[in-house]
Amino acid sequence: MCSFSVFCFKNFQIMYVTVLLPYLFMFILLIRTLLLDGASVGLIHYLKPDWSKLTDMTVWSDAGTQIFFSYSLGLGVLTGFGSYNKIHHNSLRDCCLFAVANTFTSLLSGCIIFATLGYMSHISNIPMNLIAESGPGLGFVVYPKAIGTMPLSSFWSICFFSMIILLGIDSMFGGAEGIITAVADYFPKALAKTWIRCTFVAGVCIVNYLIGLSMVTNGGMYIFQLFDYYSGSRIILIVGLLESAVIGYIYESSIINSSGTVNYHGDQNHFDQQGSTLMMENSSLNVSHL
């Protein structure tokens, strides 16, 4: 993984394979799952809204947490990737494209999962609300069990786990890049040297490997849940609240305005001074309510 990461940092073309290939597997699995008996039941369960849940603040908190985690907000990943753009890069366009792609991917994966759960409910005569579960049990217990009952189960298993592996590699790239970019900004001269950067990347990968190794022991599930709750749960909302509050209330609005003006070639219409400040203040207020 270390050598693969160093290779990918120098050859970003490999990212087109690891990012786009999972979509191919997802479309293949989508077509297959939609043809299963009971798939429509799962899709209805997935897409039919329960308006009574809108009064439950836990649902709003979980939804906000999912958005933060899905978009990698507050984790430094997007900031790290964005730091490689040119000064006049159209970041607003990228944000819109990223939001659309992320929403599309979430809906696509949801259709695949719930169509399969509907199939499992059909063949086992178990209600959907009892067969559906969250967490690693869904991806590594329920879904593989469903694939095992399909014709050509070996082929579908290869597609599914290849998709999981590629998505996991992409996630590791993002997490490692967030750390590496932050350190490189503090020590630009040191990490400008290839051998130092490669050594540091290898060190980050080794540390991540050792942490991940603890999660495959007999008590690894408890360690995984501990990391999942404290790094990918409501703590991200707190980080987002603090970041929005600092930018909206402490960071000078004139600096925000000047940065936006430079990035958009002096076009004031893209970045209004008062509007940007109010946006950050409202963001911090909304996050605090979650």
pLDDT tens across 228-244, in order? 777 767 777 788 788 87
Using DSSP's 3-state secondary structure scheme, residue 36 falls into coil
Q: Read off the pTM.
A: 0.74
Question: Does 278 score more than 70 pLDDT?
Answer: no
Answer with the residue of higher pLDDT: 9 or 107. 107
144-153, 175-184, 279-288: segment of lowest average pLDDT: 279-288
Please tell me the distance from the alpha carbon of residue 283 to that of residue 275, in angstroms, as a whole number: 12
Q: 36-40, 133-137, 273-277: which range is least confident on average?
A: 273-277
Confidence of residue 258 (pLDDT cuts 50, 70, 90): low
**pLDDT (0 to 100) of residue 104:** 92
Enter the tokens of residue 279.
Answer: 């946006």
Please name which of 190, 195, 30, 180 lies closest in space to residue 105, comparing C-alpha atoms. 30
Considering only CA atoms, which of 95, 59, 55 is closest in space to residue 79? 95
Above 70 in pLDDT, residue 193?
yes
Annotated binding site for Na(+): 70, 102, 167, 170-171
Region label for 36, one of left (φ > 0), alpha (ψ between -120 and 50) or beta (otherwise): beta
Q: How confident is the model at residue 54 (pLDDT cuts 50, 70, 90)?
A: confident
Distance of CA 187 to the CA centre of its chain: 28
Please tell me the predicted confidence (pLDDT) of residue 192. 81
Q: Which of 26-30, 150-154, 250-254 has the lowest mean pLDDT?
A: 250-254
Q: How does residue 184 score in pLDDT terms, banded at 50, 70 and 90? A: confident
7's CB contacts (< 8 A; 6+ apart) are: 14
Q: What is the three-class DSSP state of 13?
A: coil
Task: Identify which of 48, 29, 254 has the alpha carbon closest to the alpha carbon of residue 158.
Answer: 29
37: its two tokens = 């008996």
Q: What does the DSSP 8-state code read for residue 141?
A: I
Residue pair 121/131 in contact (Cβ under 8 Å)? The answer is: yes
DSSP 8-state symbol, 252: -
Q: Which helix (H) or strand (E) holds 18?
A: helix 14-34
Q: How many CA atoms lie within 13 A of 29 on its CB side?
A: 31
Annotated binding site: 70, 102, 167, 170-171
Contacts of 136 (CB under 8 A, 6+ apart): 221, 224
**pLDDT > 90: what percent of the chain?**
1
Using CA of residue 117, residue 233, residue 205, residue 71, what is the dihedral sign? positive
Q: What does the chain come to in residues?
A: 290
